[in-house]
Amino acid sequence: MNKLPFDAIIFDHDGTLIDTETPDFEACQILCREHGLELSVEQWAASVVGRMEGYNQLFDDLLARHGKNHLTRDDLFRRIRQLWPITLENTQLMPGVETLLPQLRTEGYRLAVATASDRPWATRWLTKFNLLPYFETLSTGDDVANNKPAPDVYLHAAGQLAVSPRRCLVFEDSLVGVQAAKAAGMTVVAVPTHVTRSLDFSLSDRVIAGLEHVTASWIANLG
């Protein structure tokens, strides 16, 4: 039996496995338009994607630039929570996920998810799309002291699997996610989406157009 090139493969969640980012951007865009600000996908990708504190930065920018002194962050969070259920209705799997995960499991790879999001959020979508059984462990922002771009969530996933970080392959769509996985000492493949492709992913070991281009043979050649 041939030795696998990696002991584990770790996937980011939002934008890598499940496209929650497009609906999230749409909600943020609606919110900003309600207050006279046109939010570009480039601005949103740079300030919000993968950054749990990014909403505060976005809201502060909106409040400062448009003089909405009668509003607060809480008001804006309240409004975006009203918009999310509407835009999230069209949430879909990222292309290639349904084909790739069964193939990797058949090959004998140990699989995990490492996300900056909280556990209920990730569990909700992995359960909805019947992906949870593929993964041995789910490492979330709830499990670590420091979220991405710190390496903690990836190191936690490797620790749960009892594997060396240097024997882990990561798929990520955000810049902070790539930074986190590289800081953990892992091999990182960037999979930019239409909302993150404007970012500089030169830190990653490889950049690909989508998971539909990944096969077990492709990973073997990478390893």
* 142 belongs to the catalytic site: no
Q: Per-residue b/e over 142-166, b at no fewer than 16 CB within 10 Å? A: ebbeebbbbbbbbbbbbebbebebe
Assess contact for 116 and 147: CB atoms under 8 A. yes
The residue from 12, 143, 152, 173 that is catalytic is 12
Contact 196, 173 (CB under 8 A): yes
Cα distances from 35 to residues 51, 63, 90, 114, in angstroms, run 23, 9, 25, 34
Q: Is 14 a catalytic residue?
A: yes
Work out whether strand 206-207 and strand 187-190 pair parallel, antiparallel, or are unpaired.
parallel
Question: Considering 14, 19, 152, 173, which one is annotated as catalytic?
Answer: 14
Instruction: Enter the DSSP assignment of 2.
Output: P
* Amino acid, single-letter form, for residue 89: E
Residues labelled catalytic? 12, 14
